Amino acid sequence: KMAEKQEEPSNTQNGEPDNAEEGEEKKKKLKREDLPPFEIVTGERLPAIFFKFQFRNVEYSSGRNKTFLCYVLETQGKESVTSRGYLEDEHAAAHAEMAFFNTILPKCESSLRYNITWYVSSSPCVTCADRITETLRKNKNLRLTIMVGRLFMWEEPEMQAALKKMKSAGCKLRIMKPQDFEYVWQNFVEQEEGEEAKAFVPWEDIQENFQYYEEKLAEIL
C-alpha cells in the first residue's frame, strides 16, 4: 500500500538495532509510514523490532531516547471495563506518562475505581514522576502499578527523591521480570500476520539485569 514511499526513515535509531538486515528495514518501511517526530503515537500493538530494542533492560541504553508505555486500564463501576494499548513518545515533546493522563485518562470520575498497570521501557523522569505523584494524591480512586524495564538516571538525587514521593503517594514501582517482558510480548507486540505467534526469546542477560535494577530500586525506596 505504501510501497511508493522511498525516502529513508527520518529517525534511524527509531528502535532499530545496528545490525538489522536490509529486508527488515524495507518491510518496516512498507508497513509503517514515517511518523513526524514528536508525535504521540497510540496503537494496539507495537512493532516487534521496537520492543526488542527499546524494552531491553540494559544498563547503558544509548540510542533509546523514547519511552514506550503499554497500559492496561481497568475501570470498575457498575460494570468493569478493561482497555489496553500503548503510547510512545520522543523525549523532546510530551512524555508517554503525561500523554496517558492527558489523552487516555483525561478525567477520573470520582464514582469509579481505576486500576492501572503500565509496562514502560524505562522509569519516569523527574517531571513525569511529580505529575504521577500529584495525580495519585488528587485521585484516591486511582491505583497505579508501574513495571519498568530500566531505571532512568537513578543515580541523581532528585530522581531518587521523585521516585520516593511516587511511592508515598501509593504508586507501586516494580522492575520487569523476564515473565513481564513475556507478557508484554504476548499482549502488546505485533505478531507477523498468518504466522503462528512466535514465542518470546529472552535475551542473554535479562535475569542479571533485572536483579541489578531490582537491587538499585530497593536501595532507593
In the chain, which residue ranges form alpha helices assigned H by DSSP?
22-31, 48-54, 96-99, 126-138, 157-168, 178-188, 206-220
Task: For residues 86 and 100, give the distance between their C-alpha atoms in angstroms, rounded to a whole number.
Answer: 9
Task: For residues 59 and 211, give the distance between their C-alpha atoms in angstroms, rounded to a whole number.
Answer: 12
Among 130, 176, 123, CA closest to 154: 123
HSE-up of residue 104 (Cα within 13 Å, Cβ side): 28
Amino acid at the residue 19: N
CA distances from 148 to 41, 66, 102, 205 (A): 19, 13, 21, 16
* Residue 115 CB neighbours (<10 A): 16
List residues with catalytic annotation.
97
With residue 69 as reference, give the H or E element that holds it: strand 66-76
Q: Output the CA torsion sign for 45, 47, 51, 52.
A: positive
Among 116, 106, 42, CA closest to 72: 116
